[in-house]
Every structure is written in C-alpha cells, then in structure tokens.
Amino acid sequence: MIRVVVVDDDPLVTESLKTILEVSAEIQVVGTGNSASEAVTLYLQERPDVLLTDIRMGKNTGIEAAKEIFRQVPKAVILLLTTFSDDEYIREALQIGVKGYLIKQDLASIVPSIKAVYNGQSVFGTEIVGKLASILTDQTPRKQSKIHLSEREESILLAVANGKNNKEIAHELFLSEGTVRNNISQLLEKLEVRDRTQLAIFYYQKYQ
C-alpha cells in the first residue's frame, strides 16, 4: 500500500484528489491539508511514501514546503501538482530534488505518477517534458560536459532520463538489477549529482 499525503489550498480540490487516488486499491491517503505549513506538519507526522502538493498556496508555496521537508528528511518523495507550467517553478523544483511536476488538468496521469515516484522514477507531465531541454540551462557543473561516459553508462543514462526503473533498465539492456544499481551509483559519483532526477537533467543538457 502506498501511503500518500495530499495538500492543496482549495479544500474541494484536496477532497477530489483524495477520491481520485483512493480509486486505486494500491493507494491510501493518510492525510490532507490546505497550506504549505500543513504540508510540512503532515509529512513529518505521517511520514508518507509520497507527498502530493500544490505549488501556489497563499503566502507560502509547495516548493518552500518541499525545501523544509528535504532539510529534515533528505530522501522524502515529493510530487508537485499545479495549474502553472512556469519555467522558474520547474527549474527550482528540479534543483531541490522533487520527483515530479504535473499539471492539474492531466488528471489521468496522477495515479500512475504516484506509483512511478514510489518506485523510484521521476515523472513530468507531457507539457513539462516538452520544455525540459530549454529550461535546464546551467543546472549542472560545466566540467561535467568533459566527462567521458562508456557506451553502457550512456545507455543507462538514457534509460534513467526516460523514467525507467532499475528492473526495466536491466531487462532492456540484458543486465542484472545489481549491475544496473551499481552503474547508477557510479554515474552519480562520476557526475557529482545527488539523484536520478539530476542524472536526467545531465542527459538533457548533454544530448538534447
């Protein structure tokens, strides 16, 4: 069961999201809130598998809530949901390490996205993916462009950028999951980035 906390400044939207998520037998909404401060409090209280939070919520934002949660729980899994596809929001979201950024209108993608981030993938709505290459400027150190990657490392990097998990990568490249896991750890160290999202950023900068 995937335990989720849902936060949106509109109580009606919050309840609607709760209803959409709980249609899936694999998801349990363990808390709902309507502000950035509630997002932080509920996360620390419930320790859900995934936090689904709006961005614009009055005085404070979901990104500010995410920053505070990451400060206390670096491995938190946070998925942002908004009506805005503002480039600066997307850039900041990637910088702090959120696992996904979805547009609210794309309701059909919410449940699959929750499952994907729970399984270690990064997800971005279709509208967001189309903008990634243009907004991911200067997100990684320039010296990374001089780093040589092997053919296998490039293949794994591409698969990560496409949102595939270790099992899917192993199947696609005829490797064991352990080998994939080790190669991803080596890539993180070689490129000096913190997670799979940052690996995807590197791929879009170098190869797109």
- Residue 201's pLDDT band (boundaries 50, 70, 90)? confident
- Tens of pLDDT, residue by residue over 162-188, are 878 888 999 999 999 999 999 999 998
User: Which of 204, 67, 70 lies closest to 145 in space, CA to CA?
Assistant: 204
- Tens of pLDDT, residue by residue over 12-29, are 999 999 999 999 999 999
The pLDDT of residue 97 is: 82
State pTM to two decimals.
Answer: 0.69
- Is the pLDDT score of 40 beyond 90? yes
Tell me the C-alpha distance between 139 and 176, whole Å: 31
Side-chain half-sphere exposure of 112, counting CA atoms within 13 A: 9
Percent of the chain's residues with pLDDT above 70: 87
User: Which of 189, 169, 190 lies closest to 180 in space, CA to CA?
Assistant: 169
- Tens of pLDDT, residue by residue over 70-108, are 999 998 999 998 877 677 777 788 778 888 888 887 788
* Contact call for residues 116 and 104 (beta carbons, < 8 A): no
User: Which of 105, 114, 106 lies closest to 28 in space, CA to CA?
Assistant: 114
User: Which of 95, 100, 114, 120 lies closest to 180 in space, CA to CA?
Assistant: 120
* Contact call for residues 122 and 99 (beta carbons, < 8 A): yes
CA torsion through residues 94, 96, 100, 105, sign: negative
Side-chain half-sphere exposure of 76, counting CA atoms within 13 A: 29
- Is the pLDDT score of 137 beyond 90? no
